[in-house]
């Protein structure tokens, strides 16, 4: 038996149990500390090896599904996991129709895939007892003004990071296979064009269809300099932000139908791309340090 792993598992369970105990006793601000520490420990504990190869991900996913089968996971969950595994092996996006919402009862831990039940099938808890898990935390909505200001300020932050970098430095990879600044900028420009298009559709159409695009669909454009990519990104972002500053509060709740995430609001889309950009800001800083620019 791996006693180190057993001790780590017991440690995490103790943190979560304490969070629940304090919450049940009404000490909410103490409870949130233990929930946060548990999450922090999970992030620290999984940082090593996070950049796995497709083969490693497929291997680990198959192993995890096997473990869940042994632990008696529901056939519905196993079927959903296997649909996800098939999509990962085929290297394709997973539409919402294949794996719908995922809910966990906060009273007893029952996991439900699909439509949220009115009552927990295990403990009878009512509908709002469930915690629903979005496909990615980017979809958790920010307050409208926070999302808007985050979108507005990113170009200025990037400009500050770039400083006096030369075009050659912008094209330099930190190490073989890692993105250069130009490649990151090409990706950011592609995603900016995507969100600008979606903002326009959601504001001008009733519940429009929003096509899902992957990283490969948003690859950097050829024969365009890094500086030009940044300027195009900045121009598109400023125009989009200017339009968003004119909309009514109700417009933030206009919706579109995303093939991967189902119904999403304009606020969720703005929050998604604001958080996405901020994740890449750290990457840009790391690239500059790594190449010694």
pLDDT of residue 177: 86
Q: pLDDT tens digits for 43-61?
A: 999 988 888 899 999 999 9
Q: pLDDT tens digits for 101-154?
A: 999 999 999 999 999 999 999 999 999 999 999 999 999 999 999 999 999 999
Which pTM does this prediction carry?
0.86
Name every residue whose Cβ is closer than 8 Å to that of residue 288 and which is 6 or more positions away in sequence. Answer: 161, 165, 181
What mean pLDDT is reported for the chain? 92
Q: pLDDT tens digits for 194-205?
A: 999 999 999 999
Name every residue whose Cβ is closer than 8 Å to that of residue 162 and which is 6 or more positions away in sequence. Answer: 170, 181, 230
Cα 178 to Cα 156, 159, 164, 233, 276, distances in angstroms: 24, 21, 22, 21, 18
Query: Can you tell me which residue has the tokens 């250069």?
Result: 180
Per DSSP, the three-state class of 259 is coil
Which residues does residue 264 pair with via DSSP β-bridges, in sequence order? Answer: 256
- Binned at pLDDT 50, 70 and 90, residue 21 comes out as very high
Query: Can you tell me which residue has the tokens 């200025």?
Result: 156
Q: How many residues does the chain have?
A: 293
């Amino acid at each position: 038996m791996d006693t180190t792993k057993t001790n780590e598992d017991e440690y995490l369970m103790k943190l979560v149990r304490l969070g629940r105990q304090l919450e049940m006793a009404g000490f909410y601000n103490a409870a949130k500390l233990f929930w946060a520490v548990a999450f922090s420990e999970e992030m620290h504990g999984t940082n090593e090896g996070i950049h796995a190869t497709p083969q490693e991900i497929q291997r680990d996913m198959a192993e995890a599904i096997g473990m869940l089968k042994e632990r008696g996971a529901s056939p519905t969950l196993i079927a959903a996991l296997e649909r996800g595994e098939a999509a990962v092996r085929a290297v394709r996006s997973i539409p919402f129709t294949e794996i719908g919402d995922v809910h966990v009862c906060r009273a007893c831990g029952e996991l439900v895939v699909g439509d949220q039940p009115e009552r927990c099938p295990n403990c009878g808890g009512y509908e709002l007892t469930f915690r629903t898990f979005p496909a990615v935390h980017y979809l958790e909505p920010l307050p409208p003004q926070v999302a808007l200001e985050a979108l507005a300020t990113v170009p200025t932050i990037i400009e500050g990071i770039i400083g006096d970098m030369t075009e050659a430095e912008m094209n330099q990879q930190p190490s073989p296979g890692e993105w250069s600044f130009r490649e990151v900028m090409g990706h950011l420009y592609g995603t900016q064009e995507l969100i600008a298009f979606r903002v326009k559709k959601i504001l001008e159409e009733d519940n429009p269809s929003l096509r899902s695009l992957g990283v490969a669909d948003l690859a950097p454009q050829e024969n365009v300099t890094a500086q030009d990519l940044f300027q195009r990104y900045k121009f598109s972002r400023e125009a989009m932000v200017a339009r968003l500053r004119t909309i009514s509060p109700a417009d933030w709740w206009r919706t579109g139908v995303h093939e991967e995430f189902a119904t999403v609001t304009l606020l969720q889309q703005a929050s998604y791309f604001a958080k996405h950009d901020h994740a890449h800001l750290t990457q840009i800083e790391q690239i500059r340090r790594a190449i010694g620019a």
